[in-house]
Amino acid sequence: MGLLDQCEELFKTSNLYDVIGVTKDASEAEIRRGYYKVSLQVHPDRATGDEQATAKFQALGKVYAVLSDADQRAIYDEQGVIDEESDSVDRDRNWEEYWRTMFPKITLQDILDFEKSYKDSEEEKHDLMRAYEEHKGDMDKIMENVLCATQEDEPRIRAILQCALDSKELPPHRAFTNESAKKKSVRKRKADKERKEAEEMQKEMGLDSEDSLVAMIKKNQKSKEAGFNNLMDDLEAKYCKKKTSSGRKGKK
């Protein structure tokens, strides 16, 4: 079965861009990030309940290999076909090894550097606006899903969203414009509790001030696993350097 047919069967679309959630005019970095995010969802080690996880993971590797190759991508864009005999979609490539060489683990310093550059950036504003629309103004969900967002950031985040509302960039949602004081208070108490528990963990583990960030992340992982994973996933996609590997050792 060819790659396009595989995509149709596994992802319900034969459009390679749709498979990784990007547009046809996506940049190389956007394609790489899209591939990374979707591959995490179907990685055989994570999607243990999906019987098609391995097949999806291998197909995604081929999709990225095609779209990251300028010549292959040009042919696909112009003719809608793929050279199934090319090295890019070699059936014997070890796609797990290919994936890992592209996305090694990130460091604590990567997290600190990212947070510094991310806050108050256009990217953060875009992510906030997307979260606002996706969750229809629900600040509980916005704060849980936006990268690096802490209770201390809430006034700043509210101001960014309110500015977007005032300029008509966003539609008004009652969940945001009429949020009750009680709901805000509950969210603050929850955040304060998580912070206190993280500080206690820091003392128990004998961590220094720099490692306190690790303690907070670990505590947050227990209370909101999805949010933690999204943070680490996006940071890895941003900070891991692009590498190539032939990896002809057999399939995952």
Segments making up each domain of the chain, as ranges: 3-102, 108-205, 206-237
Average pLDDT, the chain: 79
Give the pLDDT band (50/70/90) at residue 245.
very low
The whole-number pLDDT of residue 230 equals 54
Give the pLDDT band (50/70/90) at residue 250.
very low
How far is the C-alpha of 111 from the C-alpha of 113, rounded, in Å?
Answer: 6
Query: Going by C-beta distance under 8 Å and a sequence separation of 6 or more, which residues neighbour residue 55?
Result: 6, 10
Superfamily per CATH, domain 3-102 = DnaJ domain (1.10.287.110)
Residues in the chain: 252
Cα–chain center distance at 137: 21
**Per residue in 34-69, pLDDT tens?**
888 888 778 877 777 788 988 999 899 999 999 999
- Considering only residues 248 and 112, tell me which one the structure prediction assigns the higher pLDDT: 112
CB 125 within 8 A of CB 164: yes
Share of the chain above pLDDT 90, in %: 40
Cα–chain center distance at 47: 16
The whole-number pLDDT of residue 24 equals 94
CB 223 within 8 A of CB 198: no
pTM: 0.49
**Other residues' Cβ atoms within 10 Å of the Cβ of residue 27:** 10
Mean pLDDT of all residues in 83-99: 72
